[in-house]
Amino acid sequence: MNIWVSLLISLLLTTIVGFATPIIVCGLILSLLAIASHLPEIAVFGQSCYEQVWCFLSMFGNGSGREGIVTIALTCGFVGFLFESLNFYRYQTLISQPVVNNQIESK
């Protein structure tokens, strides 16, 4: 397989994982808080935390929590793309100019 194709596939996978991770994390947090809001002892705490997290996400989404999650996910995907691009650039630089081991000879 061509090295460019291999590294571009890595770039695509990194971007997808960077996009999906915040969606999964926010979904898990909101799900756990929704479940906690139905438990008798911690219902008030769970509901309060759920509303605060949803309010936090809505700040990024122009008043919508779902848009906030997508905005954060797009940003994380873009940052993952940039980091993988830097990795790709550094890999190409190291291939074209390998590091030479300069050892000082003992006299």
The number of helices, as runs of H, and strands, as runs of E, in the chain is 3, 0
Q: What is the pLDDT of residues 68-81, one digit of tens each?
A: 999 999 999 999 99
Between helices 65-96 and 3-36, what is the axis angle to 10°?
A: 150
State the pLDDT at residue 98. Answer: 63
Across the range 80-106, mean pLDDT stands at 74
Position 31 pLDDT exceeds 90: yes
22: pLDDT strictly greater than 70? yes
Is residue 100 over pLDDT 70? no
Per the prediction, the chain carries an average pLDDT of 86
Residue 40, helix vs strand vs coil: coil
What local confidence, expressed as pLDDT, does residue 68 receive? Answer: 92
To the nearest whole percent, how much of the chain has pLDDT over 90? 51
